[in-house]
Structures are given as structure tokens and as C-alpha cells.
Structure 1
Amino acid sequence: MATTGRVRPSPLLAAWLALGFAWHCALHHAPAAAVTLSTASRWVVDEAGDRVKLACVNWPSHLEPMLAEGLGKRPVGAIAGDVATMGFNCVRLTWPTFLVTNASYSSLTVEQSFQRLNLTESLAGIRANNPAVVDLKLIDAFKAVVSSLGENNVMVILDNHVSKPGWCCDNADGNGFFGDGYFEPDVWVDGLTKMATMFAGVPHVVGMSLRNELRGPRQNSNDWYK
């Protein structure tokens, strides 16, 4: 009788599945200060070997303005403080690849980014609530958000959500799969490398999500199992 062996997923696919599962591990947690994390078997642990349960909330920063949402309404420190007060110990902070790889985006200040989109009311709100970020380059404003989360003992996972900044997701948005209009693999890797290098010395940045929701008509088993 012929038998078939178990099909094992590739390391890349296994990593994606593990990453997706991690977001659901948020029960019976306590807020945690920044720590160096590693894995022991299937658990995430701290330096002492104690299990750490990530209780993460999403904070979008990948939309067209490329600034964390809400800064036109409240000071960044107040938002970060509320995250901790509500019992979360982690933020999944989204970012678009072009923030660090495309000069037409990365060269913009916060003010210029909002002006080009004619978001005058939102810009006025940022001036009122977060005046210190208005003249910053977008990546420096992103760093300011990361810093504020650290000051409130909130860990950060950098989430590469899309390449071109904008709403996610659609199968035809050009951000879905390797080779799509805005998803060139070498540019993607360059963006990941730049962000990993930039935040390597920031202790409360504890991880990076490599890409959000691979999707669309170009996906295929050959590329998934490379």
C-alpha cells in the first residue's frame, strides 16, 4: 500500500503563520516594560525565561499622510498613556515601505505631507495638539511616536503594512504580492533593512512584522514555498 508523507510548509510560510498567531496571544496579561525577548519552544520569554504575553493594539501610520492616526486630536503622549492604562503592553505600529525607500515621500515634513493632501483641518489639529512634530520629517515623527510609547512602557512591533501609503487592503491595490506594481521584492527588503537598522538600539522595539496580508491574483504556490 502506498503512503504519502506529511507535507511540511516552507520556513517562510511557517514564519508567516507564527506571526499571525502571535497577535491572538493576549489573554491574562499585564502591562510590561521594554524587555529583550526570545523564544523557548513555542513561548515568547524575557531575559529571566518568564513567559511574556503580547497584548497588542493596532496604531495605523501607513495611510496617505504617513503619520500615526489621532495626532490631530490629542497629544502623542496622551494616546500612548491611554494604551498602557487600558491594559495593553504592545502596539503594532504600521508603516509603508516608501516611507524610507522613496525620496518623494521620505523627504517630506509632516506639514508638507498634509498640505499636499489638502488636509488643512487635520494639520491645524496637529499644530494644536502636537506642535513639536509639524516641522519634522515623516520618519522623525514616526520615531517620536515610538519614543512616546517607550516612555509609557509599551512595547512596539513595527508592521510593514503596505509599500505605497494608503488604505489597505484590496486585491488590486498593487501592494498585495511580490511583483505587484508597488511590491518590488528588493525595495521591500531594503525598507525592512533600513527600519531594522534604525531601531536596532531601541529596547522597547521588540519585533517586526515583515508584511501584512499577502494577497491578490499574483500569489502562487511556487513563490509561497521558495
Structure 2
Amino acid sequence: MKVIRVSATLLLAASLVAPAQAEPASWTGPLSTRGRWIVDANGDRFKLKSGNWHGASGTWNGSGDINDPANHHAGEKADQVPLGLDRATMAAIVSGFKEIGVNSVRLPFSNQMIKDTNPVNGLKDAHLNGKRPLEIYDAAIAELTRNNLAVILNNHTTTSRWCCGVDGNERWNTSQSTDQWVSDWAFMADRYKANKRVVGADLYNEVRRNIWDDPNWGWGNDHDWHKASQQAADRIQQTAPDLLVIVEGINWTGIPVDGLPHGRPTLEPARHLSHTLANPDKLVYSAHFYGYTGPNHSGATGTGETSDPRYQDLSPQELTDVLQRQAFFITEAQKHFTAPLWISEFGVGGREETNPRSRDWFERFVNHLVASDADFAYWPLVGFHTNRRGNGWALLHWDANGNRMGVNDGDDWRANAWNRLVNAPQRSGQIPRETRWNMLLKESCPQNEKLVGISHTGNRGLCVSGPQWSNTTRITNEQHVTDDWRGATRNSSAREETRPSGTRTSR
């Protein structure tokens, strides 16, 4: 979810901007997870310091002549290929990514794009003209990975339209069947599985309510995001087992009207019902945060706006508490939901953003990312400018003549925060394996895990890897059980567990 901000320019001295450190090219794919950390094939921490290179998912607003740039978001027409290729060569754009310090790129696509056979023309790389969108997407992946950047495939939309309203792309199956969605993911996973720098499959972007219905997490129907994402993950792991599988939380439920229930569940449902993959060392959770939205604010102004606070309206402590509740709890150690957390979208307006609350929120959010050592992906990397004016959200902009404007040019107020983020101290080196807990969702635990608990209610089980208890206490009744770890109230922090032998123990 992104907006345009238009305001006056703030100038910063170029001498105050510390350029991003170059990312070493020594990492080895594929990537996996150990607890809350992503690691490379050698077990070394690989922090996703990413940006979003959008365009292949669509930029058309959904009305008017699709060939008229005025009918595309911010006038930035992409023709279902990564944005900016009609203004600069692919090599120049990718070089810019490395220059500002990203080591990975979230590369959105639409299901429509991968099937579109119409040729694209007018690109700066002559050898790409006449190719269909998917072939240009292939070329972008080749250029990114040749430059040692990791690529995360992101199914951003179903039809090639600008995200994210009531647009037919609200759910993975709003404009197509779940089976077709899963089949498309199998196709994409298979297409790039030989390239070990294509590291992840980000299943779907900003799952949200359509006009009539909410998505849910665990109800078992055809609006169940947990069920659908589990199904897609299983198919991807069968097709391309090296890929990380990235599940974003639910972006919105309810009708944004004061007095009616509405809000942004984000990853909160995972606290009570998480995912268990055949290879659990491939699961990553993701969430999006923008200052102009809020835990109960859709981000709208005027029609659809409610009186709820936006994230940028919260006090420092309120913001910290909300972020922890909605997403950052995922990184708590040795829980059934423990996984790396990737903030796969966040951003703010650049030179023309003068709203002090927006600026303050961005600074505070960057500070939170630094303090938590969380993985991240800025939205977006690429945009257009005319005489250094325009949408302004991107970190790199090109004009119609191919002249680049970047975050580190000296007149972008975000530069210090951005460079503080990409250069921040972080955990690095070898990450030891740790005991892993998973919910039993099928007939057996994942490989190398054992069943150690079943829930009194809810037909759930608990699996664990690593060392088992050396001592147990036999309990013949439930007098010591004060709360069921998977109780009907879904707010338990304690676990009451039953061993397969019938010995009941508490942890």
C-alpha cells in the first residue's frame, strides 16, 4: 500500500551522508533459517537488506486507456516489466541498487504477467525489445543474481493493476482459483530453481477484504489464508525445496467505518496458529508498515477514513508496543511460531515530504529495525522524476532522458536514516542450530521432529526437534493444569503437553 506525497524540498549537505557499505559477494545459496535468523548454505547469517523493484505486477490504475501514462500510478507506466527499463539499462539500474547498499531484491509479479505473450518495446536494452514480459523478468533475475544480489519472487497481484484497494486482487483467489494460484507458483518455482541466488517465494501481497468478505486465518474455508498459504508452501517445497517460503500476515479485515469492527491483523493470528512446513527451516514471516496507515486505520483520507490513529500518530512507546504485538513477536525464541521476520514493505516520501509526523515515524521505524536487527525491504527502489520532482518515494529515480536522482545526492532528508539502516551493526557469522517447535497440522511431525504434546482442545499437537526432556513427572489427572497450551480461548502462554506414552508433563 503506497501513496504520493507532494510538498516542498528540504536540502541536506552531501557531506553529512555516509554512503552505504558494499555487501560482500561471499554468500552461498540457497538460504535457510535457524530460529529467527536467515542463514546461507554455510550456516552464516544472511540479513535481507532489500528493496522492492516493482512494475511487473502492474502499474495501471484500472480505468482509462492503459497506454496513457496518466492512467498509471504516479504516471509511472511499466508495461508489466520492472520499472525504469525504458529510461535506463538494466545494468545501470542494478548497479544503482548495489551502490545504495541493498543485497537483495523483492521482485513483484502478477499472474497475468507470466501468461502475457504481447511483446514489450521501447526499452533501453535493445536486445530486450520484442520479448514478452516474463522473458524480461527472466533477464532482470539474471542481471540481479549475476551481481550477487539475492532475489525474492513476490506474487504481488493476480491481474496487472496497481495495488492495493478493492481491485480484484484482494485475495490470492479473488480473480482465479486457489488451484490455479498454486499451479502458477509451481511454474515460477520450477522456472528459477536452478539459480541458487533466487532464494525465496513471497506467496501473496497484502491479503485483505474485498467488498463483501474478509480473509481469515484458520477457518478452513476458501477465504482461509493460513490454509491456502500452507497449500502453496507444500507445492513449492515439492517443486523447488531450496526456496524460502515467505508468508505475509493479513493486511485488512472489516469495513473502515467508525463504529464497525475493522483493523489490520498482520501476523497476530500466527501466535495461535502458525505454519508447519515439510522442511520447517524454510519458513519466513513478513509484514508491511507505513506511517500513514495504522493498526486500525486503512490509510485512507476523506472517504473511508476513520478516527483511529495512524502509526505516525502513536507515541514512541505505543509504536513499539504495537509493532511487537502485530509482527515482531515472531522473533521470540523457541516458540511454535518462531521464524525470521522480514518487513517486506515500508517507506516514506522523499524530497517533497514535509509532514513532520511522516518524517518522525520513518526515523523511529528505522531505529526499531536497527535495534531489532530485523530483515527489511524498502518500497520502492525505482521511480521517475522530472527536474528532480515527482512521486518521490523511490530511493532511485530516472527522468525521461536517463538522468538519475538518488537518495545520496545530498538533498534527500531520508539519506541519513537509510544509510544508518543498511550500515547498522548486526549479528553475523555462524548461527548455531536451536531447538525448534512446530505445531502438528497433519498426520505426522516434520522430518527429524518428534511429537511431544497434544492439546486438550482444538485437535492440535506440538512437535520438537533437538534434545528431549531427561525427566518427566507422571500426572494422572488434570489438577495441575491451569491452562491448555492450545485452549479454546487462544490466549494461553503455558503449554500442557502429553507424551505419546501417556505421560503428561509441563514445560
Residue-by-residue CA offset, 1:63-112 (whole Å, 9 max, x unaligned):
15211100011000111111112110000001001223x4xx2x22213x
Structure 1 residues 185-200: aligned runs within 5 Å: 185-200=178-193
Q: Is the 8 A contact 1:176 1:183 kept in 2?
A: no
Q: Which has the larger radius of gyration?
A: 2
Equivalent residue, structure 2, for 1:207: 200
Structure 1 residues 24-103: aligned runs within 5 Å: 30-32=23-25, 33=27, 35-60=29-54, 61-63=56-58, 64=60, 65-100=79-114, 102=115
The correspondence for 2:119, drawn from 109, 132, 135, is: 109
Greater per-residue helix proportion? 1
The correspondence for 2:132, drawn from 137, 141, 163, is: 137
Identity %: 31
Equivalent residue, structure 1, for 2:276: none
How many residue pairs match? The answer is: 179
The correspondence for 2:170, drawn from 146, 170, 176, is: 176
With the length of structure 1 as denominator, give the TM-score of the two structures. Answer: 0.73
Alignment-mate amino acid for residue 197 of structure 1: D
Distance 1:29 1:46, change over 3 A: farther
Distance 1:178 1:62, change over 3 A: closer
- Rounded Cα–Cα distance in structure 2 between residues aligned with 1:189 and 1:41: 27
Q: Is the 8 A contact 1:163 1:175 kept in 2?
A: yes
Post-superposition shift, 1:35? 2.0
Question: What is the DSSP-based 3-state SS (H/G/I as helix, E as strand, rest coil) of the residue aligned with 2:38?
Answer: strand
- Rounded Cα–Cα distance in structure 1 between residues aligned with 2:226 and 2:154: 22
- Rounded Cα–Cα distance in structure 2 between residues aligned with 1:29 and 1:53: 14
- Rounded Cα–Cα distance in structure 2 between residues aligned with 1:74 and 1:215: 35
Q: Is the 8 A contact 1:174 1:183 kept in 2?
A: no
Distance 1:82 1:212, change over 3 A: same
Post-superposition shift, 1:198? 0.2
Post-superposition shift, 1:184? 2.3
Equivalent residue, structure 1, for 2:147: 152
- Rounded Cα–Cα distance in structure 1 between residues aligned with 2:52 and 2:120: 21
Question: What is the DSSP-based 3-state SS (H/G/I as helix, E as strand, rest coil) of the residue aligned with 2:52?
Answer: strand
- Rounded Cα–Cα distance in structure 1 between residues aligned with 2:111 and 2:52: 18
Equivalent residue, structure 2, for 1:166: 161
Distance 1:31 1:160, change over 3 A: farther
Query: RMSD of the TM alignment (CA)?
Result: 2.1
Residue-by-residue CA offset, 1:176-220 (whole Å, 9 max, x unaligned):
12542x142122111111100000101210001000000013224
- Rounded Cα–Cα distance in structure 1 between residues aligned with 2:192 and 2:31: 15
- Rounded Cα–Cα distance in structure 2 between residues aligned with 1:39 and 1:87: 23
Residue-by-residue CA offset, 1:110-162 (whole Å, 9 max, x unaligned):
13xxxxxxxxxxx3xx1xx2111111122111100111111211110011000
- Rounded Cα–Cα distance in structure 2 between residues aligned with 1:132 and 1:95: 21
- Rounded Cα–Cα distance in structure 2 between residues aligned with 1:184 and 1:34: 36
Distance 1:150 1:179, change over 3 A: closer
Q: Is the 8 A contact 1:177 1:183 kept in 2?
A: no
- Rounded Cα–Cα distance in structure 2 between residues aligned with 1:82 and 1:34: 22
- Rounded Cα–Cα distance in structure 2 between residues aligned with 1:153 and 1:178: 31
Residue-by-residue CA offset, 1:22-63 (whole Å, 9 max, x unaligned):
xxxxxx993545521111122111122111100001001211
Segments of structure 1 that go 5 or more residues without pairing to the other structure are: 1-27, 112-122
Distance 1:190 1:225, change over 3 A: closer
Post-superposition shift, 1:168? 0.4
> Is residue 2:214 matched to residue 1:219?
yes
- Rounded Cα–Cα distance in structure 2 between residues aligned with 1:149 and 1:166: 24
Distance 1:138 1:37, change over 3 A: same
Distance 1:188 1:29, change over 3 A: farther
Alignment-mate amino acid for residue 48 of structure 2: L
Q: Is the 8 A contact 2:91 2:143 kept in 1?
A: yes
Q: Is the 8 A contact 1:160 1:209 kept in 2?
A: yes
Whose RCO is larger (CA < 8 A, sep 6+)?
Answer: 1
